[in-house]
Chain A
Amino acid sequence: MQIQKLSKQYDGKTVVDGVSFSIPKGKVISLIGPNGAGKSTVMGMISRLIAQDSGLIHFEGKEMGKWKSRELSKRLAILTQSNHIQMKLTVRELVTFGRFPYSGNRLTREDQEIIDRAIRYMELETFEDRFLDELSGGQRQRALIAMVIAQDTEYVLLDEPTNNLDIYHATNMMKTVRRLCDELGKTVILVLHEINYAAFYSDYICAFKDGKIAKFGTVEEVITKENLSEIYQVDFEILNIAGKPLSIYY
């Protein structure tokens, strides 16, 4: 996926300003940066949820706008920052929606097997008949990921998947992200607030500031004292733990 000079304005205010980068296939790419830097807006534009004002997105050899929405939904899945589902849905019913791009409302035996596997992958077997609104935040988040897995796309976009999760569940979520990439060969693009999760679990980091890309590169290239201090405007120390540059800020 190549992104060229992507821009977006809201009410005359430029929130994404000439963003260009290429997303390496089969890797985990984290977008970091302060609140309001434009990360969610970029995620929205590269997943056709938000229309860009200018710029081009090339996806798998075709311009994004030329893709049929249904075809795209078999190749790219997105989980947005907030998911308020109003309907009474069980976990299994939610995961089943992941097969919609392939089979509509009529599921095949193969679909059922894929759904079973997705539920097992996220260890949700014991909850599969529970309603979503009866689950904890962590369980609900896992159910949503299971739906994404059932959607069986090469690209997976997650906007702040660790939001509102405690340390245990957030860490497990990050391990799952890593497994999606390493075991299932997916390209995962995610927005993260915790810099250390980004540093520990991603291959590449794209740091945003004021609607522009401040730094893009491998973890080692981006996570340096100078870069982070500049992006976040606070003091940072970098410690090398388990071969990863982890940061402390104060």
Chain B
Amino acid sequence: MKSAVIRANERKLLLMAALVLLCTVGYLLLEVNLANPRLLAYAMKLRVPKVVVMLITAFTIGGASIVFQSVINNTIVTPCLLGMNSLYTLIHTAVVFFLGSGSLIAVNANLAFGVDIVLMGLVATVTYSWIFQKTKHNVLYVLLVGTVLTSFFGSLQSTITRVMDPNEYDALLTTLVASFSNINSEIVLFAVVLLAGVTFAIRKELALLDVLTLGKAQAINLGVDYDRCIRRLLLGVTLYIAVATAMVGPISFLGLIVANLSRQLLKTYRHSQLILGSALFGMIVLVGGQLLVEHVVSYTVPISVFITVGGGLYFLYLLLTRKKV
């Protein structure tokens, strides 16, 4: 017996999936010479990996954002607050500064990805599992620690860039914006394995998300080991963001936009639907956006500009229209 809301939402999700498919096919085939097999093969070789990376990123950021918001019990927070973006920026700046832009870590993408993952995973585990436990699982501390880390990493990074060689800085800048192209398949595969591992590790906690949104007291009343549950979810979310960031670079507003679009469209507490909706919105924004960037404005504006400007405006809209509690 399914309620009308569930069925209506299933239809909406199906429609979104169709839109994702349309965007994906459109992105792959637009302005491709289908008559010439060699040109087609060449275009696919460039476009397929890129589209795959975008889909994975959208899923990761979209899903993690919903989970993070539900753990914090606030719908205008984004996992950006966890500080992974600024840690990524700091790591890459430090590598270029201390080892040079020609160094192995800076040049070898696989190695860079590995270093990112290890450092971010370490920081995530220490701050969001260990310190969180020490602060008696107060989610406000999480936001505070995240904000402190973000500005700490940020100021370290800007200190380094101030004394950096301008040419090195120039080379660095291009690696500090999110990019979906030129990501090799080993990294993609490794990222997928990591994401699957994290998902598997927190599968039980993910099933508790619906109950968590009733609030701490109600969740405990219904038999949820609340502290352990949010600790594991928080660590899971941070690792998710770490993987996505290590793969494509910092993507700021995307999570906030797609999570809220999903909540607005589906108006449900069911996380299976919210997460799917958020992931699908992410895919539409990224793939559809990239399609616009490449075929309509022909690369004059990078997609991150669209996301940041659009995200900023949407964020403002959310703040202004949010019902007072």
Contact = CB atoms under 8 A, between A and B. Distances in A.
Contact of A105 (B210, B224, B268, B325): B210
Contact of A73 (B75, B216, B217, B223): B223
A85 B207 contact: no
Contacts of A79: 221
Contacts of B161: none
Contacts of A90: 3, 5
Interface in A129-187: 129, 151
Contacts of B224: 69
B215 interface: yes
Contact of A97 (B3, B207, B222, B325): B222
State which size class the interface on B falls in: 20 to 34
A87 B213 contact: yes
B269 A78 contact: no
Contacts of A104: 207
Contact of B214 (A48, A70, A97, A105): A97
Contact of B217 (A80, A86, A98, A129): A80
Given A86-B73, A88-B268, A70 B215 contact: no
Given A72-B223, A97-B222, A49 B73 contact: no
Given A69-B224, A73-B223, A78 B217 contact: yes
Q: Is the interface of A mostly helix, strand, loop or mixed?
A: loop
Interface string B208-239: 00110111111011111100000000000000
Nearest to B204: A104
A229 interface: no
A93 B220 contact: no
Given A72-B223, A73-B222, A100 B269 contact: no
A101 B223 contact: yes
A92 B6 CA distance: 13
A48 B211 CA distance: 17
Contacts of A73: 221-223
A13 interface: no
23 contacts: A47-B221, A49-B221, A69-B224, A69-B225, A71-B223, A73-B222, A77-B221, A79-B221, A80-B217, A83-B218, A84-B325, A85-B213, A85-B215, A85-B218, A87-B213, A88-B267, A92-B3, A97-B222, A100-B222, A104-B207, A105-B210, A112-B1, A129-B3
